[in-house]
């Protein structure tokens, strides 16, 4: 699995959401399920391997909804016993997310005739 910039509770929540979505999608759409079974037969993977592939592909797209759900749980008294763990995970997740941010574009050094070096960022590149 590729490395994602998220706290482990946020990632677990996103993966749980993807697992539930797998059940919803496959039980509610016969065409999708038959196509998925066909792909499973072509690749020679087991049903659990195919499910894991679905979860792995979808979980990164569910990180923001997972963060929103955890934040919502902080305001719900029914989850009071989890508030400390959720609060800590949200704080740590913000730290993880902030550490992955980079300037827009790639850095470009410009050296003037007098030897002064300045840095600018070239837009439109990664």
Give the strand pairing for 117-122 and 106-111: antiparallel
CA distance linking residue 10 with residue 87, whole number of Å: 11
Half-sphere exposure of 9 (CA within 13 A, CB side): 19
CA distance linking residue 84 with residue 69, whole number of Å: 15
pLDDT confidence of residue 92: 85
pLDDT confidence of residue 125: 47
pLDDT confidence of residue 1: 47
pLDDT confidence of residue 12: 94
CA distance linking residue 50 with residue 58, whole number of Å: 12
Q: Is 69 helix (H, G, I), strand (E, B) or coil?
A: helix
CA distance linking residue 76 with residue 74, whole number of Å: 6
Per-residue pLDDT of the chain (126 residues; tens, 9 = 90+): 456 678 899 999 999 999 999 999 888 888 888 988 898 898 899 999 999 989 988 998 999 999 999 999 999 999 999 999 999 988 888 877 766 655 555 666 677 777 777 777 666 544
pLDDT confidence of residue 7: 84
pLDDT confidence of residue 19: 95
């Amino acid at each position: 699995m590729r490395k994602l910039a998220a706290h482990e509770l946020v990632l677990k929540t996103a993966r749980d959401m993807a697992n539930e979505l797998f059940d919803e999608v496959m039980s509610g759409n016969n065409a999708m399920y038959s196509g998925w079974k066909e792909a499973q037969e072509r690749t020679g993977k087991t049903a659990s391997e195919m499910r894991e592939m679905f979860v792995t592909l979808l979980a990164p797209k569910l990180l923001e909804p997972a963060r929103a759900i955890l934040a919502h749980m902080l305001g719900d008294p029914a989850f009071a016993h989890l508030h400390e763990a959720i609060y800590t995970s949200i704080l740590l997740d913000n730290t993880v997310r902030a550490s992955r941010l980079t300037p827009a574009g790639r850095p470009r050094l410009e050296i003037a005739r007098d030897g002064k070096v300045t840095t600018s960022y070239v837009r439109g590149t990664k």
